[in-house]
Amino acid sequence: MNGDVSGSYNGSLLMNILKIHGTDLCSLGDVESPDDPAYEEVVFIDKAKRYYKKCIIYNDRLVGAILIGDKNEFLEYRNLIENKIELSEKRLQLLRSGKTTEPVIGKLVCSCNNVGEGNLVHKIKEGCRDHLQLCQLSGAGMGCGSCRPEVKAILERALEPASTSHAEAEKLST
């Protein structure tokens, strides 16, 4: 790759996000555990809330997951898998959702992680000025990535008046 014959491509994290109205379905990494006792398959089913979660664990690290009905942990699971983070104390909380999700404010921008334009503007007002940081803080653009150009446009629009008014203030002071 790029002329380095000693370098090798280690692959990408396989992810699938199915977008169907009323149903959330995500899969990350290795979703089938091989016939090997070193792999553990942990499954959580909540029939009342219509949630299904399956996690594949190998050497105390999450290597794969399927989320149906509740994808709140998508970003956290993706981070655990990509960075090969040891679960240790997180293991007990791995399947327990307990997270309160921020409601979508304004027009939906990211359907993968349910982020609205108002949620993004709120993060910008809190001081976020960088496109990647805005994506990471809000979750927008961290799934399939198709909304990243829109996230960038919202950031630029939100920052534009501040730079314009600053330039006008400089003109008035001279």
Q: Where are the domains of the chain?
A: 15-93, 108-173
SS3 state of residue 140: coil
pLDDT exceeding 90 applies to what percent of the chain? 24
Read off the pLDDT of residues 74-87 as tens digits, 9 standing for 90 and up.
888 888 898 888 88
Entry pTM:
0.58
Q: Is the Cβ–Cβ distance between 69 and 52 less than 8 Å?
A: yes
To the question of domain 15-93 being in CATH 3.30.390.30, the answer is: yes
Q: Is the Cβ–Cβ distance between 108 and 119 less than 8 Å?
A: no
Tell me whether domains 15-93 and 108-173 share a fold.
Answer: no
Domain covering 108-173: architecture: Orthogonal Bundle (1.10)
Cα separation of 129 and 139, whole Å? 15
Read off the pLDDT of residues 124-139 as tens digits, 9 standing for 90 and up.
999 999 998 898 888 8
